[in-house]
Amino acid sequence: MNHSMKQIVACLLAVCILAVSVPLRAFGAETPLQLMVAADTHFRCAADLGAPDDTYAEYLLDPDTFAYASTQGQMNYESEAILAELLQAFTASDAHYLLIAGDLTCGKRASHLAFAEYLRKTEEASGKQIFVTVGNHDCAAKSSDDKISMEEFREIYADFGFQQALSRHDASASYAVDLDDTYRLLAVDSCIYGEDDGKISTAVFRWIKDQVRQAEQDGKTLIAMMHHSLLPHYELQPMIDNWRYFAGWFADHDIRTVLTGHIHANDISSTVSDRGNTLYDIQTGALISSPNTYRVLTMGQGSVQIESRFITKIDPALLPDYLTDAQKAKLTEDFSGYAKEYYISGVCKWLNRNIGSPNRLARWFKLKEGTKAYAAAERLMTRLGAAVGQDIYDTGAGASIEAALAPYHIEVPQSDYQKPYEVAAKLMYGFFHGDEDAVGNKEDAALLLTCLEGAILTAIQSDPDQASLRLLARAMETRTDAAAAVSSLRTSVWARQLAEKMALALVETLAGGFVDDYSTPADLNVTLTFEENRSSAAPAHLFVQLLRLFAELCKRMVA
């Protein structure tokens, strides 16, 4: 071999060596992938709306407008108009795909068919693709006249992931589909049909392992999308079984980004596996609830840039006739403000529905149903439902939290709130909105605790069966000697102790988990980076194997 040929071969050899030394994930990374992500659209077509529900609307500051608010803050009657805005935004955007992370509709057949038609028209207008995954509200365990099964879900949404899939799991709604030369979407069915809770079943996990192996061979970076959280987002959140194991496994097998919904909050949680690999669970809030969020993700160069956007207007022509002209006018004038007031009203109705039940209190203090203590708790909670509707501050116009606490020399912190439910709504809204105010949360939590204490004291004073309430107070004491001592305490003392314990338990179960969440580093607008760990390198892709083979041939030629 002459000198010139040797130089050429040496250059080719150097190129090959450099090529095989670069991690495969770097190929194609210079072209960012932009995704629009939404979750929990909970769409209801006109046929599935039904009559507005004004139950539990007592104590609302503006019942004329918001008596129809849902107890979860979901804007059911506005869902079509909200969905239309999302799809128009996607059509006009630079996003390559729209991903919707489950709970597409209220679960009824007519709404699914209408929703799929909306998606189909959007794809035709935009020339871009929409991919969906299934949520706990989407399918019933069995098909019926108005409910669909998982198999029917795959048929109705065949054009939105299932037909394009490289792989489909036969026993679930899981599938894998390529997004570009670098990224592959792994849509994971995390549902237990007929239940709200989720899981990654053994069969689905086996399929995920197969997809990871295939992605390694194909040189693809996996982005997972599932309805239920893979990481916890707040302290008391129900989680899928073995979430710690799955999170570590995902992180160590190059699934570093998981897009989720279900909790209705804009929240980002992260974890680092034992091998030092970072995983992010990027949860998007419910599109149908204030602040009506969707996200734009830009993937590339070892990072994920997240921008949160909000629905700020709707087309009044898409609002149903159930709404009054006054409501339509307010929705058109200031949609975001209306949506937030709607949400706060929904929290009030939720509290009115739940605070009158002894279930949460019984679980917290291990009160057994059928006992006298449980019966006393049930009666007291019924009265508490009315007491918590009082004004916070004493205006001289009637009962108030401040007046109830005055005999105990307890001061109520000053604020601009009028009703206790507004305080709870502020705490919960901050979490669902994202980037919540940690300092403000603690102040509001302290005020909520004081309000509940005053409401409980009001309920105690209005109950003539003081003996049963003493029994309840004793049941809440953990030490036998302390429980016995309650019997001899003055009424004002044991009542105060009972109120304190109940208020603490209620704040913890109702809002305590939302005061400090597991967000890192932020929730709304942030760039997430990944610390690479190559200690468990994936098998070489076929292209890399060919480069190595060519390098070996070059070596022999040079020799």
Two structure tokens written together for 7 = 């130089």
* 268 dihedral zone (left: phi>0; alpha: psi -120 to 50; beta): beta
Two structure tokens written together for 214 = 């295939």
Tens of pLDDT, residue by residue over 63-105, are 999 999 998 899 999 999 999 999 999 999 999 999 999 999 9
Contact 511, 424 (CB under 8 A): yes
Residue 224: strand pairing partners: 186, 258
What's residue 21's pLDDT? 41
What's residue 351's pLDDT? 81
Two structure tokens written together for 53 = 């529900």
Q: How far from each other are the two terminal CA atoms of the chain, in whole angstroms?
A: 9
Contact 256, 280 (CB under 8 A): yes
From the list 372, 507, 373, the residue with the least C-alpha distance to 450 is 507
**Environment class of 366 (CB within 10 Å of its CB; exposed 0-12, middle 13-18, buried 19+):** exposed
Q: Which strands sit side by side in the sheet containing 167-168, from one edge to the other? A: 167-168, 175-178, 183-188, 221-226, 255-260, 278-283, 267-272
What's residue 543's pLDDT? 41
Contact 38, 86 (CB under 8 A): yes
Tens of pLDDT, residue by residue over 7-43, are 544 454 444 444 444 444 433 345 789 999 999 999 9
What's residue 546's pLDDT? 42
Query: Cα angle at 199 between 134 and 102, to 5 degrees?
Result: 20
**What distance in Å separates the CA atoms of residue 226 and residue 245, rounded to the nearest whole number?**
16
**What distance in Å separates the CA atoms of residue 526 and residue 472, rounded to the nearest whole number?**
49
Query: Which H or E element spans position 349?
Result: helix 335-354
What's residue 555's pLDDT? 40
Tens of pLDDT, residue by residue over 413-440, are 999 999 888 888 888 888 888 887 666 7
Contact 98, 131 (CB under 8 A): yes
3-state secondary structure labels for all residues of 68-109: CCCCCCCCHHHHHHHHHHHHHHHHHCCCCEEEEECCCECCEH
Architecture label for domain 25-334: 4-Layer Sandwich (3.60)
Task: Say which residues have a Cβ less than 8 Å from residue 16's Cβ, sequence separation at least 6.
Answer: 547, 548, 550, 551, 554
From the list 103, 117, 525, the residue with the least C-alpha distance to 286 is 103
**What distance in Å separates the CA atoms of residue 417 and residue 258, rounded to the nearest whole number?**
38
**What distance in Å separates the CA atoms of residue 136 and residue 114, rounded to the nearest whole number?**
19
**What distance in Å separates the CA atoms of residue 393 and residue 387, rounded to the nearest whole number?**
13
Q: What is the pLDDT along the chain (559 residues), one digit of tens a residue?
A: 555 555 544 454 444 444 444 444 433 345 789 999 999 999 999 999 988 888 888 888 899 999 999 988 999 999 999 999 999 999 999 999 999 999 999 999 999 999 999 999 999 999 999 999 999 999 999 999 899 999 999 999 999 999 999 999 999 999 999 999 999 999 999 999 989 999 999 999 999 999 999 999 999 999 999 999 999 988 778 899 999 999 999 999 999 999 999 999 999 999 999 999 999 999 999 999 999 999 999 998 788 999 999 999 999 999 999 999 999 999 999 999 999 999 999 988 888 777 767 776 777 778 888 888 888 888 888 788 778 888 999 888 778 999 889 888 889 999 999 988 888 888 888 888 888 766 677 788 889 889 888 888 888 887 777 777 777 877 776 544 444 444 444 456 777 778 887 777 777 666 555 555 566 668 899 999 876 443 333 333 444 344 444 444 444 443 4
What's residue 464's pLDDT? 73
Task: Say which residues have a Cβ less than 8 Å from residue 549's Cβ, sequence separation at least 6.
Answer: none
Residue 269: strand pairing partners: 281, 519
* 255 dihedral zone (left: phi>0; alpha: psi -120 to 50; beta): beta
| DSSP character at residue 417 | -
